[in-house]
Amino acid sequence: MPSIRIALVDDHPLMLSGLQDLLSRSGGFEIVATGRSPRDIPHICRVHKPEVIVVDLFMGCDICAVIAAAIRIAPRTKVVAFTAAMGVEPAILALDAGATGYVLKGGTSAELVQAIRSVHAGGIYVTHSFTSEVIARLRDAPFRTKAAKALMFDLRELRIIHLLTIGKTDEQIAVALRIDRTILDDHMSTLRQKFEARNRREAVIEAGKSACPPTIH
């Protein structure tokens, strides 16, 4: 499978270096460009045409206007906003500007990797701690509907739901997805919370009712 072409823009050199190291270790990514200021974003999109660009939201200007301009230049490039801001308002502004991913810097490295893979596949990813409020406040109604469907289940969870509904055991699901059992256990715990299920049996029942919501493209 071809690597995902990634660009990174952050005005903190240590953060930029850390992101490069993280994605290089994760595998499946090719870093085609890096930048340290908002001015670099349109240039990178025009010249390098990354599939996904990860952008720090706070670099001293109206970064959301820059995101919107970059998307006009390279409509196929997906934008992941990566920020230390804890409030919902920055997420609203970034998504309204055209970003399809929003990840807090205080989260895990796995979350950023998941966000990149999700938006590359046509999905929408927002840090789980405030997805409901973000969806409710998005101005664009069609995008709000799309986001609500996409954020209910991420891509891997959709595959787990499908495998649950056809009777696969946890061991079989882990093998099918090529993931460690501990990672699967984390996904199962998240699904039980989303389904408001007390145990695996109830989760399987609710998975059947959900009819595997479609992946957003």
How would you write the pLDDT of the chain (217 residues) with one tens digit per residue?
Answer: 689 999 999 999 999 999 999 999 988 999 999 999 999 999 999 999 999 999 998 886 788 889 999 999 999 999 999 988 777 778 878 888 889 898 988 888 888 998 999 899 888 888 876 666 666 666 655 655 555 555 556 667 777 888 888 888 999 999 988 888 888 888 888 788 777 788 888 888 877 775 444 333 3
The answer to whether 143 and 81 are in contact (CB under 8 A) is no
Can you tell me whether residue 122 is helix, strand or coil? coil
Q: Which residues contact 23 (CB under 8 A, 6 or more apart)?
A: 6, 8, 29, 31, 113, 116
| pLDDT value of position 217 | 30
| pLDDT value of position 214 | 36
Pick the CATH number of 155-210 from 3.40.640.10, 1.10.3720.10, 1.10.10.10, 3.60.21.10: 1.10.10.10
Question: What pTM was estimated for this model as a whole?
Answer: 0.64
CA distance 155 to 160: 9
Identical fold between 4-152 and 155-210: no
Residues linked to residue 29 through DSSP beta bridges, in sequence order:
4
CA distance 33 to 19: 12
CA 161 to chain centre: 19
| pLDDT value of position 164 | 86
Domain ranges of the chain: 4-152, 155-210
Report the interhelical angle of 155-165 vs 200-210 (nearest 10°). 100
Q: What superfamily in CATH does domain 4-152 come from? A: Response regulator (3.40.50.2300)
| pLDDT value of position 181 | 86
